[in-house]
Every structure is written in structure tokens, then in C-alpha cells.
Amino acid sequence: MDEETPIEEILDTIGDDKARTVLAEISHEPCSAKDLTERLELSQPTIYRRLDTLKQHDLIKERTLVADDGNHYSEYRCNFNSTVISLEDDEYDVRIFREENLPDRFAQLWDDLGADR
């Protein structure tokens, strides 16, 4: 979770039934918006709105692929393994646990080293 994102926004996103449905579907395997529309029986605008919100909060990742006919499309995948929401002293805390892969960690380290120069 982005440290500057208000916790309420994350809770609102996770609390949205349609956003949770989209997350559940792409947690099994990456999907395009078209696939999600067909599988979930939700309208394409609804799917895109939820994908945008989930992406805004870094809960999903998007990558561009090229179809056999040469057209480009986006594929979406879940960007976390688990979430813990706790309440202590009337304050919520949301922790999102991600599985970092080595190339991403190396790229981040390289970027961090270059930023200090």
C-alpha cells in the first residue's frame, strides 16, 4: 500500500463487492478486461472502473500483450498475497503483503542507487 493513500480509500476499494469479485477472478490467473466481462457477467465499463481503482491502489498489475492478430491488449493480475486489517485504539491499519520477485527487487535497488547520485 502506498504510504500516502488514506486507509479509508483502501477499505472502500476492498469493501466494493464488484472489486472483490474482479480481484478473486484474477487471483487465480491473469485476465484481460474482455475475459473478465465474459466470466463475471459484469458490464465492460464496470470492469474497467474497478480495474482502474484497483490499479490506483496498487492492488493489481497491468501488462500489455500482443494478440495473434497484432492488436495490443492489457492483462491484469493480482499484486498481493494477503491483506490484514486491524483495529487498535480506534484506528485501522491495513497491511498488504506482496510476493516480491528477484528481478523487481533488483530493479528497485538499482533505481534507488541511481537516485542518490
Q: Which pLDDT tens digit goes with each residue over 2-35?
A: 456 677 888 888 889 999 999 999 998 999 999 9
Section 30-50 average pLDDT: 95
Section 70-75 average pLDDT: 92
Q: Could you tell me the domains of the chain?
A: 7-115 (1.10.10.10)
Under a CB-based contact definition with an 8 Å cutoff, are residues 64 and 9 in contact?
A: no
Under a CB-based contact definition with an 8 Å cutoff, are residues 58 and 46 in contact?
A: no
Report the length, in residues, of the chain. Answer: 117
For residue 110, pLDDT beyond 90? no
Q: Select the more confidently predicted residue: 90 or 62.
A: 62
**pLDDT recorded at residue 32:** 96
Indicate whether this model's pTM tops 0.75. Answer: no
